[in-house]
Amino acid sequence: MRRSRQEITDRKIIEEILSGSEICRLGFIDGHRAYVLPFNYGYHDNCIYIHCAHEGKKMDLLRKNNEVCFEIEHTVKMVKDSRACGWETTFRSVVGYGIAEIVTDPGLKRSALDVLMRHNGAGDETDLDYPPEKIDLVTILKIRITEVTGKQSRNWPGKD
């Protein structure tokens, strides 16, 4: 990382970003170029879970190469100034790599959907019973994180 003073090395903070954010941008390899899509997601036990359709470009790309890159940002805020060059962004983010697998077992798909629902705010009172026909309609991707780095803006509150 070029700006090592902005690197987040505390795993607890990286876990907070992974657990507390809403959108994961997932990058796929498309020949000699990248293909990036945003997803809502769930995070648990060093894995990112995404639900998606059975078919489409991302699935075609994953079947060719299941290595992915991801980016998740947390607490992004634009700080305006009276001078154009005085504007700043306050942020925390993670970038990482992983291996994507398609979850096919119905029980594991249910567990992954529970992770997705809880991550996105479903409380204990939420009925997490999924009819079998709904389970069949969705593809679950499980991304096992192999590498992750964190970064925060130099103006992050409490940063020296």
Q: What is the DSSP string of 85-102?
A: GG-EEEEEEEEEEEEEEE
Give me 17's structure tokens: 């970003």
Count of domains observed in the chain: 1
134 lies in which domain range? 4-152
On the question of pLDDT at 107 being above 80, the answer is yes
Average pLDDT over residues 28-41: 96
pLDDT, averaged across the chain: 91
* Angle 159-153-6 from CA coordinates, rounded to 5°: 70
Q: Is 126 within the bounds of a domain?
A: yes
Give the model's pLDDT for residue 2: 57
On the question of pLDDT at 115 being above 80, the answer is yes
Give me 18's structure tokens: 């992974």
Q: Is 160 within the bounds of a domain?
A: no
Q: Is 65 within the bounds of a domain?
A: yes
Give the model's pLDDT for residue 3: 56
- The torsion angles phi and psi of 83, rounded to 5 degrees, stand at -105, 140
Give the model's pLDDT for residue 52: 95
End-to-end CA distance of the chain: 18
134 sits in which H/E element: helix 132-137
Average pLDDT over residues 96-114: 96
Give me the CATH number covering residue 57: 2.30.110.10
pTM of structure: 0.90
Q: Is 48 within the bounds of a domain?
A: yes
Q: Are the C-beta atoms of residues 70 and 98 closer than 8 Å to each other?
A: yes
At residue 90 the predicted structure's pLDDT band, cuts being 50, 70 and 90, is confident
On the question of pLDDT at 32 being above 90, the answer is yes
pLDDT in tens, 47-85: 999 999 999 999 999 999 999 999 999 877 777 888 888
Q: Is 158 within the bounds of a domain?
A: no
Please give the residue that has the higher pLDDT: either 42 or 89. 42
Q: Is 105 within the bounds of a domain?
A: yes
Give the model's pLDDT for residue 118: 93
On the question of pLDDT at 122 being above 60, the answer is yes
Give the model's pLDDT for residue 77: 78
Task: Name residues whose C-beta falls within 8 Å of residue 51's C-beta, 6 or more positions apart in sequence.
Answer: 112, 113, 116, 138, 139, 140, 141
